[in-house]
Amino acid sequence: MKRRTLLTAGGGALVALGAGWMISRPDAPNPLLPGAANAQAAEGTLPQITDMVQGNPDAAVEVIEYASFTCPHCASFHANAYQSLKANYIDTNKIRFVYREVYFDRPGLWASMIARCAETPEFFFGFAGLLYEKQREWLASGDPAGVIDALRTMGKTAGLSDADLDACLSDAAKAEALYTWYQDNAAQDGVNSTPSFMINGEKYSNMAYDEFASVLDEKLS
């Protein structure tokens, strides 16, 4: 999907503003972009995007998951294989686990911007779990305004205020940076489907837990 198509939406959820993009509440006037974000967009510079990491940062084995918050196969992976992977390899510090978002559609980008509101792995992975658990619910309306409303409700359930959500969802420079980051990562690692995994630089498609564990055990040995 082309960048302009992904970063624009109907229903007042996402509108063009100058050199950047603004995501706004569907039931309120579009908030002004923060001055810093406006300046960054105008100058052509973008904020740096940080990888979200779990486990041992110095582990000999690194797993990078490429996934979309709107992907049903990703939701299934996180409800099943990921839970065992976390218990047996991440929480035991055997591996370094990196989650990288893939943006196949606009709701996936909006969900990511809320997940990254606090810019901490703890909040990100906690909210990611909620997004996958309730994926059908927040995508149910199929309408941009309805999706934004559902995401905002989830964000507030997770402890964010309306002011927090307004700031995160109206950060045009961050939205542009996230999409550019996704494109660069996907091109670098040849990602064209989700979920996909890079394990110590080697690409793997979606796997059941037993197969995943077998690959990890071999590399750990």
Residues ≥6 apart with Cβ < 8 Å to 197: 63, 64, 65, 66, 203, 204, 205, 206, 207, 212
Q: Which stretch of 27-31, 82-86, 109-113, 122-126 has the lowest confidence by average pLDDT?
A: 27-31
**Section 140-146 average pLDDT:** 93
CATH class of 3-24+59-220: alpha beta
Where does 47-206 show beta strands of DSSP type E? 52-55, 61-67, 95-101, 196-199, 202-204
Taking only the tens place, the pLDDT of each residue in 33-71 is 333 444 455 456 889 999 999 999 999 999 999 999 999
Taking only the tens place, the pLDDT of each residue in 153-185 is 999 999 999 999 999 999 999 999 999 999 999
Domain ranges of the chain: 3-24+59-220
35 versus 92: the higher-pLDDT residue is 92
The structure's pTM equals 0.82
